[in-house]
A and B are shown apart, each in its own frame.
Chain A
Amino acid sequence: MSVVIEFDEVWYGYEKEKPVLNGVSLQLKQGEFVAIIGGNGSGKTTLAKHCNGLYKPTQGAVKVNGLDTKTMNVAQLSRIVAYCYQNPDHQIFHSTIKAEVAFGPKNMGWPPEKIEQAVAEALAAVGLSDKGEEEPHFSSKGTRQKIAVASILAMKPQVIVLDEPTTGLDYRAMQEMMELVRQLHAEGHTIIVITHDMRLVAEYAQRVIVMHKGKLLCDGDPQHVFSQPQVLAAAQVEAPAMYRFGKAVDVHNPIPLTLTAMRKQLLGEGK
């Protein structure tokens, strides 16, 4: 897999003696589904905001498709890496859903017919094709979250960063949102999700990056991360319920992380 985003010894801070990112080096590859976890103030959102130039390193370099983010502006980078905010209301400001979704492509100077097609495709992808003329601010939180995703999809980014995409959603809206993200991943988008929800990490992520005090504490698959109690304690999270159950009843090789995997293992299926 080719490298899309590369962090090379990245330092970032408002005050010299208190860096928010403290020498982070890592590579994110095309087509990965990555979860970034960590406690409050660990640097996870700051790390993610370096991916599309919302923040630029104080020292070190971030490269997107081989180009240093310091040589590009956010508008240029947003065509490659799109950032979806935790609170959709921070990015929704138009009076119709269609106008909201068309905003990015318009700013990129696309011709009207290309914009129209991009908007139609993005609305279809999130299941809002028939809602284009509605007022976004009066929709449910789940729908507003989908509008935010459609707005970035319309720009056809290679990489999508989602900051806590399920916070405040009920279970059905959460499932719909994550199925949409799974579909975008299947279509080839690289996905980066910042989350506190370990059930979501277990179900969807292929790779987990754990941030702690501005440093990369652990980087591996979910099984690797959940097997390290000290790492989980530093990230202020608990392993998902199925993993804790597996440990308590001695189910091993490996300990299943999800309900489906646990059921299979206990019933001896797939052996």
Chain B
Amino acid sequence: MKTEPLLRVNGVYWHYEEGAMPALVDIHLALYPGEVVGVVGPAAAGKTTLLLTMSGLIPSNYGGQFVGSVESKSEQGIVFQDPETQFIGLTVEEELAFSLENTGWPDERIERRMAEVLDLIGLNGFANRSPLELSGGEKQRVAIASALSHNPQVLILDEPTSELDPVGAREVFSLLSRLKQEKEMTIVVSSHATEELAAFCDRMILIVEGKIVLDQPTREFFAQVDVLDEHGILVPDVIRLYHMLCQEGVMPASSTGVPLTVEELALHYKEGQLVREGSL
């Protein structure tokens, strides 16, 4: 992408006041409009801290030593792992209106925006429900709606599916896909669910002990199986099978890069079969 970045992190070092070690070391990255970026790393690697820094909450809301700078031309919305920790309103409507009222929006504009956002997350008719009575996936969609209410250009999500069952996780990723396709939203999402990230993200970042180890387009990222194994990152079975079959000579390497989904691998495997049988 040749456009100007929405957000740039320049040489950031961050050490929490109470931390034994720095949480981020020499972080450089740029985020471009419309990109969907996945962030992976072992437990306590610095994923949440990186997202808090990108959202601007570090250093302003936390105590510690900060070096470097974050330049932002955009507004960011952030969604946390457990949606309940960020609910304040007694109804979905109150929840969505809360921050807009605090920034002095007029009532009719708030009403209009709430209707737009509920429509966007597919929860029309939920305005008067208590957010605490909803299913896990619905709660997380309300949390996403709250983050979207200000119409930010960048949506940042910290492990949004780790506490959800598969249905809730699918709901969240399907909403994110819609935001990507229909709104060309710029999205940064951290997760251990690498199978979902591989299918969804344009670019992947691996962070280990506060340092960025890999930052690449998704297909190139998942070509680095040795690096991912070294740091204990789950390589999706589809991708690992592809690498195994290429190494064993069962099929050639794909000219379009590493297949990222069952469908992509099946297509590539079938093409390889036709070549072996002499039909192509």
Contact check, A167 vs B250: say whether CB atoms are below 8 A apart.
no
Checking A237, A245, A258 against B265 with a beta-carbon cut-off of 8 angstroms, the contacting residue is A245
Given A238-B166, A267-B250, A170:B238 Cβ within 8 A: no
Q: Given that A248-B266, A263-B244 are contacting pairs, would A241 and B236 also be in contact in the complex, using a CB cutoff of 8 Å?
A: yes
Residue on A with the closest CB to B269?
A249
Of A170, A240, A245, which one neighbours B266 at CB under 8 angstroms?
A: A245
- Starting from the known contacts A142-B43, A249-B269, 20 additional A-B residue pairs (CB-CB under 8 Å) come to A40-B136, A40-B165, A40-B167, A140-B43, A167-B163, A168-B162, A168-B163, A169-B43, A169-B192, A171-B192, A237-B166, A240-B237, A241-B237, A241-B238, A241-B262, A242-B241, A245-B241, A248-B266, A259-B237, A266-B250
Contact-residue size bin, chain A (C-beta under 8 Å from the other chain): 20 to 34
State A259–B245 Cα separation when bound (angstroms): 11
What distance in Å separates the Cβ of B244 from its nearest Cβ neighbour in chain A? 5
Partner of B232, one of A172, A196, A238: A172
Report yes or no: A171 in contact with B233, Cβ–Cβ below 8 A.
yes
Determine whether B248 belongs to the interface, using a CB cutoff of 8 Å to chain A: yes
Cα separation A142 to B42 with both chains bound (whole Å): 11
Q: Which residue of A lies closest to B239 (CB)?
A: A241
Chain A residues with a Cβ under 8 A of chain B: 39-40, 140-142, 167-174, 196, 199, 236-238, 240-242, 244-245, 248-249, 258-259, 262-263, 266-267
Is B262 a contact partner of A266 (Cβ separation < 8 A)? no
Which are the 4 A-B pairs with shortest beta-carbon distances? A172-B232, A248-B266, A171-B234, A170-B43
Contact flag A249-B163 (CB < 8 Å), given A171-B192, A171-B233, A263-B244? no
Q: Which residues of B contact A238 (CB under 8 A)?
A: 166
Assess the B237–A267 pair: CB atoms within 8 A.
no
From B44, B166, B238, B244, give the contact of A140 (CB < 8 A).
B44
Q: In whole angstroms, how far apart are the Cα atoms of A258 and B135 in the complex?
A: 31
What are 20 A-B contacts with C-beta separation under 8 Å? A39-B165, A40-B165, A40-B167, A142-B43, A170-B43, A171-B232, A171-B234, A172-B232, A173-B43, A236-B167, A241-B195, A241-B262, A245-B241, A245-B265, A245-B266, A249-B266, A249-B273, A259-B241, A263-B244, A267-B250
Question: Nearest residue in B to A38 (C-beta to C-beta)?
Answer: B165
